[in-house]
Amino acid sequence: MIGLVVSTKQKNTATVLVRSKKVHPLYKKSYQSSKKYLADDLIGVKMGDIVQIEKTKPISLRKHWKVIKIIGKNIQKIVEEELKEQAAEIIGEVMPEEKESGQGTVDSEQTEGIREKPVKKGKTHGTA
């Protein structure tokens, strides 16, 4: 079975998400199902890797699978992370952070042009 590694928090264990398409026998509608398997990880996989797992003798209560090989990486996730980093760099160049000593204080000159919104009184619900 082929799946995506979604967690590697435990020692020598990887949580693998396996997705499959199925067709309902009566209604003939196709749907996706997914299941998480705990697999023994002696290779050292990382989150986002696409791996092949195989059934093996029980290693622990819930761990009955073993990682055979790493097929590839989740390209979409890697590209999204790179785009986020590039966007952060561009935003940093366009909008540099201003370092002023009195950022927390508001001057009266700054608030002269700002008007306060009038408070609207709402209708009361019910008759009195």
74: tokens are: 């989740």
Task: Between 76 and 25, name the one with better pLDDT.
Answer: 25
Angle at alpha carbon of residue 49, lines to 79 and 45, rounded to 5°: 135
Examine residue 81 and state whether it is found in any structural domain, yes or no: no
Examine residue 119 and state whether it is found in any structural domain, yes or no: no
Over range 93-114, report the average pLDDT. Answer: 62
Task: Between 75 and 50, name the one with better pLDDT.
Answer: 50
Q: What is the pLDDT of residue 76?
A: 77
Residues 65, 39: contact at Cβ < 8 Å? yes
State the total domains in the chain: 1
Examine residue 126 and state whether it is found in any structural domain, yes or no: no
Examine residue 112 and state whether it is found in any structural domain, yes or no: no
Examine residue 99 and state whether it is found in any structural domain, yes or no: no
**Confidence check: pLDDT of 31 > 60:** yes
DSSP string, 50-108: EEEEEE-S-SSSSEEEEEEEEEEE-HHHHHHHHHHHHHHHHHHHHSPPP--TTSS---H
Euclidean distance between CA atoms 5 and 68, whole angstroms: 13
Identify the CATH number of the domain in which residue 47 sits: 2.40.50.140
Of 65, 33, 69, 63, the C-alpha closest to 49 is 69
Examine residue 107 and state whether it is found in any structural domain, yes or no: no
In the structure, what pLDDT confidence band is assigned to residue 9 with cuts at 50, 70 and 90? very high
pTM: 0.59
Examine residue 124 and state whether it is found in any structural domain, yes or no: no
Residues 47, 7: contact at Cβ < 8 Å? yes
Examine residue 72 and state whether it is found in any structural domain, yes or no: yes
Domain that holds residue 58: 2-22+31-76
